[in-house]
Structure 1
């Protein structure tokens, strides 16, 4: 989180030094560039999922990324609308409803969760990102009906009536890519890798062009090209690409944030999002141990997806970044504080038990 804050501050300083930099919001390639950053983050998150662990909690993951995400968004949105009575806040609840998979993956062995709990959290975090992205895009088009410029956002983000078509398009692109990649298994290893990379490049191109980022996330489960003799090379390059995308998104967030910040709505959004996740998580994790249930309830974190969604929405909902940026900071601080408190209590109980 320290690095994220540093990059955001760097962007803020750049935006203050060069005020004209905020003009990128109206640039012809702004939305496509932000979508590309989002696609890299989503592919990186699903690429690292252990499919064996995923199968053991498939039902919970499905409920979490469908019913869970929707409930979290509804709870957050209801609070924001009740407090601020601004229709633009319809989109903010969804924009921060996901868990950042990069933060989850970075915990690795340091996590106090069991192996099963870690696998569930990583799968949850990886799949609620694309679902949240789709919801954000279409709720944004709906919310714009209460504001001026509805035609513009429909053209740029998509009409809600196209939701089914876009969903089918995402699934079709992913399915075709996965089938083609499986067929490459008949090739010699030296040919399989470049063909697999070409398939992946096409999916990325279509995903960014049509904002079909769910397709990109889905292919991350199966389309995983491996360089012969260097099985870890691709993962290393992907990790670097995701880190670069995160840093670019954070700097860009800072540039936009230099125009102003809305701390009070941001704090309300952050606290509400953290509590909403805890409320939704508890009934979904009933089959887990008490410790895992608590840790999963305290697992809400935000990162590259929330940042890129805020950047994507900013041209249509001015002030989105000003609210979402402090909310991300609040959510991550609450995560660190609550987990530290739980760890301290666990250590105290263990010490009492030993005595």
Structure 2
């Protein structure tokens, strides 16, 4: 009989690197290589660039909220609201405080806002592992999908103060619309959402999808071509006008079973394209020291908020889920777009945010792999109980014999003659 090698089982327990992570690394290197021989800043502000990046963001938002279980969302609604309001404010305050304390530059206040949000495209592409429960996954995806409006609101208030504190006069261009522009954006988001829901309902009434037994599906949804058309038109309008809140909410209601697999592939493709875009700006020059501190501060701020704040609003989360929410900070296309928006008023913002995004994601991937190894180690220990001393067979004592001469059994009961 062959003996198994002692290291063979350990090697089998090492987690394989997900293909999407290898693809992201290749996409980042590709984007950096292209950025070294071209200048992507010429594209910023053009119509094609705005629509393309808007489509990537819209795809990430729709894909992330599409996977949320509505029952989990209703049960943990208090936790979601706390995360996207109080959680975002606390994270931004902690990150900005560290950056201003370390570098004594008032303009660094805006950096905490840029990376305080969680990128929905990254979450949608990278939360398919088996470690996180469905409930915790729904919490994280809702957190990532709905924290952007609070980020925009913080930008309106903080950017003006940081602009003046940095010695500039006037009003920064990023808050040109002010509170009125923010309110108008909310109204337009509401109109787009209402139009999408109305079109979905109308198509479902006129041309309902049917099962194999020809019975109408309830709740009614449109047949596949019409369902795809409604979603595509909604995503196009949202990308052209940056109405992302409507897309995030629509993902909770505009659902069809045939969407699942193509949507997962589309989200992964959008994530890789966004990583290429990030590489373009990484190649233009980065500030490593502020970027590393910014990324590390964002990752730790997420851990503090998730582990300390979430248990106050969400009951019954396991220790595993609390840890996974704590290492759930991910940044990507959203942070890059916010940095590009602030670049005109706060120069070199992109040069700090780009390495911070890479730092946050490396910390996230490393923490996930480490947690996976630790979980497998703990599971292996539970499956292999400690071997105790071998029990020798008990020889019957002459005093334990029955009157007929039969010995007693090993459990102390007399055997029948």
Q: State how many pairs are aligned.
A: 345
Residues 59 and 3 from structure 1, CA distance in 2 versus in 1: closer, same or farther, beyond 3 angstroms?
Answer: same
Q: Is the 8 A contact 2:124 2:141 kept in 1?
A: yes
Instruction: Choose from 327, 339, 347 the match for 1:298.
Output: 327
In structure 2, distance between residues paired with 1:107 and 1:326: 20
> Is the CA contact (8 Å cut-off) linking 1:73 and 1:94 kept in structure 2?
yes
1:44/1:220 contact within 8 Å kept: yes
Partner of 1:10: 30
Structure with the bigger RCO (C-alpha within 8 Å, sep 6+) is 1
Work out which of the two has the higher radius of gyration on C-alpha atoms and give 1 or 2.
2
Among 140, 164, 171, the alignment partner of 1:121 is 140
Q: Summarize the Cα distance change of 1:42–1:346 in structure 2 as closer, same or farther, 3 Å threshold.
A: closer
Instruction: Classify the secondary structure of the residue corresponding to 1:78.
Output: helix
Q: Which residue of 2 aligns with 1:46?
A: 65
* 1:17-46, Cα deviation, whole Å (9 max, x unpaired): 234x43223545434432332222212211
Is the contact between residue 24 and residue 30 of structure 1 (CA under 8 Å) also seen in structure 2?
A: yes
Q: Please, which of 213, 228, 231 is the counterpart of residue 244 of structure 2? A: 213
In structure 1, what is the Cα distance between the partners aligned to 2:113 and 2:195?
Answer: 29
Change in 2 beyond 3 A, CA 1:49/1:326: same
Aligned to 1:281: 306
Residue-by-residue CA offset, 1:249-297 (whole Å, 9 max, x unaligned) = 2222222222201111111111111111111112333221223222221
- Structure 2: distance between partners of 1:65 and 1:277: 12
Q: How does 1:220-299 map to 2 (within 5 A)?
A: 220-224=251-255, 226=256, 231-232=257-258, 234-286=259-311, 287=315, 288-299=317-328
* Distance verdict in 2 for CA 1:149–1:32, change over 3 Å: farther
**CA 1:18–1:351 in structure 2 vs 1: closer, same or farther (change >3 Å)?**
closer
Whether contact under 8 Å (1:266, 1:325) holds in the other structure is: yes
> What is aligned with 1:70?
89
Structure 2: give runs of 5+ residues left out of the alignment: 1-20, 210-221, 387-417
1:179 corresponds to 2:208: no
CA deviation after TM superposition for structure 1 residue 341, in Å: 4.1
Distance in structure 2 (CA, Å) of the matches to 1:108 and 1:141: 32
Tell me the distance in 1 between the aligned counterparts of 2:244 and 2:364: 27
Deviation at 1:248, TM superposition (A): 2.8
Question: 1:24 corresponds to which residue?
Answer: 43
Q: Pick the aligned partner of 1:153 from 174, 191, 209.
A: 174
**Cα RMSD (Å) of the superposition?**
3.1
SS in 1 for 2:291: helix
Moved runs in structure 1, 4+ residues, more than 6 A? none
> How big is each residue's C-alpha offset from its partner over 1:180-232, in whole Å with a ceiling of 9 and x where there is no partner?
322322111376545444443443344234322111211111123x4xxxx42
Instruction: Structure 1 unaligned segments of length 5 or more: list them.
Output: none
Partner of residue 338, structure 2: 309
Distance 1:51 1:168, change over 3 A: same
Q: Which has the higher helix share?
A: 1
Partners of 2:247 and 2:267 lie apart in 1 by: 14
Paired position in structure 2 for 1:131: 149
Write the distance in 2 (CA, Å) between the matches of 1:67 and 1:110: 28
CA deviations 1:107-163 (Å, max 9, x no partner) are: 5563323333233223323333x33553465357535555478464345xx424432
The answer on whether the counterparts of 1:43 and 1:220 sit within 8 Å (CA) in structure 2 is yes
